[in-house]
């Protein structure tokens, strides 16, 4: 299944706020669909499968990944030692495009992915154009030293820097235009309202 490229507010009306998908909010209160009621009243009963599916869809749309990619991350999280749900989130948060988004270098995950794809981002002073690249603790994320890259990133960064809080596991130096991955992602700082255990359950019952 390919990456979603349709109306974004339609998705947020159904699943709730998804910071990685869009920063905009819809004026409509009803969920999408001809016969859906307002989100505040007359909610239709959702099955257990439907609840697990919605949690999985939140993860997929927020990080802008395909179904195949998400399934791969779930399998990798199961393979590693530790709490599967937390490891899954760590894998997603240590993606290069996610880290660029966390640094406010782009307004959405899609924008961060485009920055990486077009070669505007470096890891340890090497240009990396793979959005799914897994960063490690100690890696230094920077902006490629080209005028086009610097101007593009600075323009997007200045639009969000005043209202954006960088996660505690990341550090950004505005003077050098580089950031350091200090630690693994902290679950308490997740911007997404998510129950990751339901995502694991969804794939275990397939």
> Each residue of 62-97: pLDDT tens digit?
999 999 999 999 999 999 999 999 999 999 999 999
**Fold designation for 95-183:** 3.10.290
CATH class of 8-91+190-204: mainly alpha
Q: What is the mean pLDDT of residues 9-38?
A: 73
Instruction: Give the pLDDT score at 159.
Output: 57
161: pLDDT strictly greater than 60: no
Whole-number pLDDT of residue 128: 95
Domain ranges of the chain: 8-91+190-204, 95-183
Tell me the residue ranges of DSSP E strands in the chain: 121-123, 126-127, 140-143, 170-173, 178-181
How far apart are alpha carbons 137 and 135 in whole angstroms? 7
Flag whether pLDDT at 26 surpasses 80: no
Q: Quick one: pLDDT band at residue 1, thresholds 50, 70, 90?
A: very low
In whole angstroms, what is the distance from residue 165 CA to residue 197 CA?
26
């Amino acid at each position: 299944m390919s990456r979603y490229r349709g109306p974004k507010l339609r998705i947020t009306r159904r699943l709730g706020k998804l910071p990685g998908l869009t920063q905009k909010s819809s004026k409509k209160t009803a969920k999408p669909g001809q016969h859906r009621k307002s989100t505040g009243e007359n909610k239709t009963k959702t099955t257990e499968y439907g609840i697990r599916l919605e949690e999985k869809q939140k993860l997929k749309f927020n990080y802008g990944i395909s179904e195949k990619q998400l399934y791969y991350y779930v399998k990798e999280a199961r393979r590693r030692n530790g709490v599967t749900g937390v490891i899954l989130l760590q894998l997603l948060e240590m993606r290069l495009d996610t880290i660029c988004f966390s640094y406010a270098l782009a307004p959405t995950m899609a924008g961060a992915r485009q920055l990486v794809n077009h070669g505007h981002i470096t890891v340890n002073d090497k240009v990396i154009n793979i959005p799914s690249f897994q960063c490690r603790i100690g890696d230094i994320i920077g902006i490629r030293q080209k005028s086009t890259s610097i101007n593009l990133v600075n323009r997007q960064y200045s639009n969000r820097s005043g209202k954006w809080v960088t996660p505690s596991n990341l550090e950004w130096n505005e003077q050098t235009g580089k950031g350091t991955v200090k630690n693994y992602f902290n679950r308490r700082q997740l911007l997404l309202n998510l129950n990751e255990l339901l995502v694991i359950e969804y794939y275990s019952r397939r």
